[in-house]
Amino acid sequence: MHIGVLEDDLDQQAFIEQCLLSAGHQVSLFARASELRRATQEQRFDFLIIDWRLPDGCGMDVVSHLRQNDGWRGPILFITASQGEDDVVKALEQGADDFLAKPLRPKEFLARISALGRRAGYDTPRPSVSCPRAFAINTDEHTIKVDGHAVELTEREYRLATLFFSKVGELLSRAHLLELVWGIKGDVSTRTVDTHVSRLRRKLELDGRHGLRLRSVYQSGYRMEVCSTSAVEQRVAN
């Protein structure tokens, strides 16, 4: 699904984006209510996620306006730090389809989105990249199989892997990976990223033999690349 996210907190934006990308969704991020309202007139969205407190308004007012004035009929998930019963009721009365309190828990968050998506007639998404057949990603159970064999991954390794799978061909800097997967911003040691990537490359055999290579780009970061398995086989044979 193409999901629009209205959230002004950049850390929350990064966390939500990574969760959604790992489940195969297309994501558009907005920090202001006016930006989202404008985008819904210019783009097609299947699903919206809206935060309560915004720099230029209230999330509930945005939901109400979308429903009553813009004719929005797609699913809306409302998120907020408040957990009061009255707030939940008010959000649902204004037109939200479901409500989640922060901090968001990744598995529950994605399960709610999948459930709302099914009700709206959308199939369970798959990773946005067309992976070679050797890789089977189960976004519900957070597992990855290589050549039919389940690979034991930590939750962080799974999130890192699905981020690379969803960004094949794109250069991802260490700082960007730290922000999206670890939630860390700023000038910090990158050994954590390098260690996890090295372990992931070994576990998932991302050396080209299955059609994908996770390559280090000097002083820049990492890139998942599509490669010819025949070339790898020839190199191994030699």
Distance CA 51, CA 59 (A): 6
Structure confidence at residue 235 (pLDDT):
47
Note the helical H segments in 69-153. Answer: 85-94, 106-119
Looking at residue 98, what is its pLDDT? 87
Q: Is the pLDDT of residue 151 over 90?
A: yes
**2-119: CATH, from 3.90.1150.10, 3.40.50.2300, 3.40.50.300, 3.90.1490.10:** 3.40.50.2300
Give the least confident one: 156-160, 179-183, 233-237: 233-237
CATH number listed for the domain at residues 135-237: 1.10.10.10
Give percent of the chain above pLDDT 90: 15
Dihedral of alpha carbons 96, 66, 62, 75, sign:
positive
pLDDT (0 to 100) of residue 158 = 87
Instruction: Indicate if the pLDDT at residue 230 is higher than 70.
Output: no
Per the structure block, which two tokens stand in for 66? 């979308």
Tell me the two tokens of residue 12: 């929350």
Q: Mean pLDDT across the stretch 87-115?
A: 84
Residue range(s) in the chain whose domain bears CATH number 1.10.10.10? 135-237
Which of 88-92, 119-123, 177-181, 197-201 has maximum average pLDDT? 197-201
pTM: 0.56
| pLDDT, greater one: 85 or 98 | 98
Among residues 57, 170, 173, 47, the alpha carbon closest in space to that of 120 is found at 47
Does the pLDDT of residue 68 top 90, yes or no?
no
Question: Residue 18: phi, psi to the nearest 5?
Answer: -65, -45
Domain with CATH 3.40.50.2300 in the chain: 2-119
Question: What is residue 180's predicted lDDT score, i.e. its pLDDT?
Answer: 74
Residue type, 118: R
Q: For 205-214, what is the mean pLDDT?
A: 92
